[in-house]
Amino acid sequence: MIIVDNPGRDSWEDLCLRNDSDAPDITEIVAGILADVISNGDEALIRLTHKFDGVTLASLSVPTAGATVPPELEEAILVASRNITAFHRAQKESVVEIETSPGIQCWRKSVGIERVGLYVPGGSAPLFSTVLMLGIPAQLAGCSEIVLFTPPQKDGSVHPAILFAANQAGITEVVPVGGAQAIAAMAYGTETIQPVDKIFGPGNQWVNEAKKLVSADSVAIDLPAGPTEVALLIDDTANLEFVAADMLAQAEHDTVSNVFVVAVGEVNERELTSRVADQLASLPRADIAQKVVERARIVKVSSVGDGIDLVNMYAAEHLIIQMHHAEVIAERIVHAGSVFIGTWTPESLGDYASGTNHTLPTNGSARAFSGVSLDSFVRKITFQRASQAGLQGLGPHVSVMARAEELVGHARAVELRLGADPADLSRTGFVRRTTNETDISVLIDLDGSGRANCETGLGFFDHMLDQIARHSGMDLSVRCDGDLEVDEHHTIEDTAIALGEAFAKAIGNKKGIGRYGFTSPMDDALAQVALDLSGRSWLVWDVELKRERVGDVPTEMFSHFFKSFCDGAKANINISARGENEHHIVESIFKGFARALGMAIAPTGNPDILPSTKGSL
């Protein structure tokens, strides 16, 4: 190891340089591989796999079903899968609608990238943990297509641990191809493989060079990647046996891996060197780790501040802190891919099962790049919606700015609208509601023509929402992506709340409306629905339903739907119904509710009168 004692700051930049002397210039060779796959497709993949891996592939597709691993490994993978899922699921962002100016609503929505390609190193050391690290967030983000590439074993198969992990991550498309040719297939496609929108995953120098080249050709990649690395920030409280183990854990990856130790104060570097040598002697991959250890740096500094500044300059992929009050020091780290705090937090935890992602920026790119996360698998789209009044308020400012930039067409697009004959302000309400169980959008136009476009995943529920639109005369659009794999409850409840909130937005100050609604027979059934847009939430439900379900909706959810609507709309509804056919009973209730709504929202002829003796609703 190379020991540097209290170097001046003017030499820090050189100390932070990574060693790449073992990495030849392979750009021209990799570019040729990419061109070969572009020209020859599947045939090139099969030929190059035989050339580089010594394997003759019978197929470019491997089924994941039925893969098994030893029980203790299965349990470990399931535990890791649970933790990775929990950590990445918590990264989901709710859609937040902001009124930036009166009448101007803006929001941002995360949308999963449709098709992503995952590269997982295989061969003698199959990195099945990477399958979980990439596949799980891809699934959580809503990526509709996920293809996994990994090098084949000598018999042409894929390691069972990779297939088992793929099953856990919900991946069904596995291609037994590795190296630069795999990146080419993902980027450009072949006869049997569709190109992807973004490529993820670590790899050797050939894979990383291929990712760099295709990224310059408009194919997205996760992040810049180079040899793996670890930095350790230690003081005299550090357990040197643990420090040595952490150094070797990264050194055993590859001969071009990097190990960088910053020692604050009185750290016994000779003892650390001895501990490394003792552990290295029994390491199965000692021949690899030895080459890394020989050029590993131990940099001694005199103050905690210098130690923190130096590791921030290094911007490590992995940073381990074994110091007194490590948690406080960790708060001052601003450049690192992932930080491991304290004596009992080896970097191996993050590599496998703590839950954080192990696909991280290397070679100092942590100054600007983050590791892979749920965000890596989504696109963030912004939306905006202006009312007529909103445009009247903000539009003149936009016109001034556009003309100042001499973009008259921009200004005219606003000015034509500002100069148009004023239209009656539409009575519309739009609500986005996003929770861990549902993602819902509802749009109501009280002055529509009874048109409905409702998709909740529940056929009968959609039919009832259609009845509300058809028989009230308002237009209604509902989209709900809910956890129907759990049950119907969240979808129906949250849709009703959002529907009520959108309705409340649409009726606004309630001036000029009837406020009350009454009614509805249907064959053998008779429903009576009395409704008051009172501003107070209350439901009276006098209906007895004996069937467990009507269509695909549990009957207990109908009362819950109307209660949730009351809460969202701040309305008072009294419902009673009788009959022999429960389908007819439920449908008559929704029709009666719709007719009551239609009566309540109907204009009375005087838009300035509030239908209340209290003076407010």
Q: In three state form, how does the secondary structure of 465-512 look? A: HHHHHHHHCCEEEEEEEECCCCCCHHHHHHHHHHHHHHHHHHHCCCCC
- Give the residue, 522 or 258, on which the prediction is more confident: 258
**Which of 416, 459, 442 has its CA nearest to residue 565?**
442
Contacts of 28 (CB under 8 A, 6+ apart): none
Using CA atoms, how far apart are residues 106 and 95, in angstroms rounded to an integer? 10
The answer to whether the 2-14+227-355 and 27-100+111-221 domains have the same CATH topology is yes
Which pLDDT score, from 0 to 100, does residue 510 have? 74
| pLDDT confidence tier of residue 588, bands split at 50, 70 and 90 | very high
**pTM exceeding the 0.85 threshold for the entire prediction:** no
Closest CA to 235 of 360, 328, 313: 328
Q: What is the CA angle 25-28-31, rounded to 5? A: 125
pLDDT tens-digit series, residues 477-503: 999 999 999 999 999 999 999 999 999
pLDDT digit string, tens, across residues 274-286: 999 999 999 999 9
Q: Could you tell me if 196 and 174 are in contact, meaning their C-beta atoms sit under 8 angstroms apart?
A: no
Cα separation of the two ends of the chain: 78
pLDDT in tens, 77-114: 999 999 999 999 999 998 888 999 988 999 999 999 99
Q: Residue range 571-596: average pLDDT?
A: 94
How are strands ordered across the β-sheet holding 378-386? 98-101, 104-112, 378-386
pLDDT in tens, 292-317: 999 999 999 999 999 999 999 999 99
The stretch 167-190 carries a mean pLDDT of: 96
Instruction: Give the total residue count for the chain.
Output: 617
Encode 524-569 in three state secondary structure: CEEEEEEEECCCCCEEEEEECCCCCEECCEECHHHHHHHHHHHHHH
How far apart (Å, rounded) are the C-alpha atoms in residues 73 and 80? 10
Helix axes 269-281, 240-251, angle to 10 degrees: 50
Fold of 428-601: Ribosomal Protein S5; domain 2 (3.30.230)
What percent of the chain is modeled with pLDDT above 70?
95
pLDDT at 389: 83
CA dist 475 and 468 (Å) reads: 9
The pLDDT score that the predictor gives to residue 303 is 96
Which residues have a Cβ under 8 Å from the Cβ of 66 and sit 6 or more positions away?
Answer: none
What is residue 95's predicted lDDT score, i.e. its pLDDT?
84
Residue 311 identity (one-letter amino acid) = V
Give the position of tokens 């006098």. Answer: 542
Q: What is the pLDDT of residues 198-210, one digit of tens each?
A: 999 998 889 999 9
- More reliable by pLDDT, 337 or 21: 337
Query: Which pLDDT does position 484 carry in this prediction?
Result: 95
What is 27-100+111-221's CATH number?
3.40.50.1980
Q: Which residues contact 390 (CB under 8 A, 6 or more apart)?
A: 101, 102, 103, 104
**Residue 610 one-letter amino acid:** L
- Overall average pLDDT of the 261-269 stretch: 95
At what angle are helices 27-53 and 205-215 packed, to 10 degrees?
A: 130
How is residue 513 annotated by DSSP? B
Nearest Cα residue to 62 out of 158, 171, 165: 158
Residue 359 CA: distances (Å) to CA of 111, 135, 166: 21, 12, 17
Cα distance between residue 594 and residue 106, in whole Å:
31
Residue 187: partners with Cβ closer than 8 Å, 6 or more residues away: 34, 195, 196, 199, 214, 217, 219
Residue 581, CA distances (Å) to 449, 546, 550, 557 in order: 30, 10, 10, 18
Is the pLDDT reported for residue 587 higher than 70? yes
- Which pLDDT tens digit goes with each residue over 16-65? 998 765 557 899 999 999 999 999 999 999 999 999 999 999 999 998 88
Stretch 447-453: mean pLDDT: 91
Short-list 239, 230, 231, 233, CA closest to 343: 239
Query: How confident is the prediction for the chain on average, in pLDDT?
Result: 92
137: which 2 tokens? Answer: 């967030």
- Tokens standing for residue 399: 């016109």
Q: How far is CA 535 from CA 503, 516, 611, in A?
A: 12, 12, 12
**Residue 368 token pair:** 């600007």
Lowest-confidence segment of 180-184, 294-298, 612-616 by average pLDDT: 612-616
**Per-residue pLDDT, 41:** 97
Phi/psi at 28 (5° precision): -65, -40
- What pLDDT was estimated at residue 608? 64
Segment 114-137 mean pLDDT = 92
Query: Strand pairing partners for 554?
Result: 549
pLDDT tops 90 at residue 225 = no
Known catalytic residues? 317-318
Q: Which of 440, 436, 431, 561 is nearest to 501 (CA)?
A: 431
Edge-first strand listing for the sheet containing 145-149: 173-175, 145-149, 115-119, 198-200, 220-221
User: Measured between alpha carbons, how far is residue 332 from residues 151, 259, 604 in Å?
Assistant: 40, 21, 65
* SS3 (DSSP) at 400: helix
pLDDT at 605: 60
The tens digit of pLDDT for each residue in 410-438 reads 999 999 999 877 555 568 888 888 888 99
Strands (E), 56-128: 98-101, 104-112, 115-119
Domain range annotation of the chain = 2-14+227-355, 27-100+111-221, 428-601
Q: Which three-class secondary structure state does DSSP give residue 75?
A: helix
Which pLDDT belongs to residue 125? 73
What pLDDT does 23 receive?
Answer: 58
* Residue type for position 79: V
Cα(99)–Cα(394) distance, integer angstroms: 12
Question: Looking at the DSSP assignment, which residues form a beta bridge with residue 452?
Answer: 476
pLDDT of residue 65: 84
Question: Can you give 235-272 as a three-state secondary structure string?
Answer: CCCCCHHHHHHHHHHHHCCCCCCEEEEEEECCCCHHHH
Task: Say what the pLDDT of residue 426 is.
Answer: 67
What is the phi/psi pair of residue 369, to 5°?
-110, 150
Q: Is the domain covering 2-14+227-355 a CATH 3.40.50.1980 domain?
A: yes
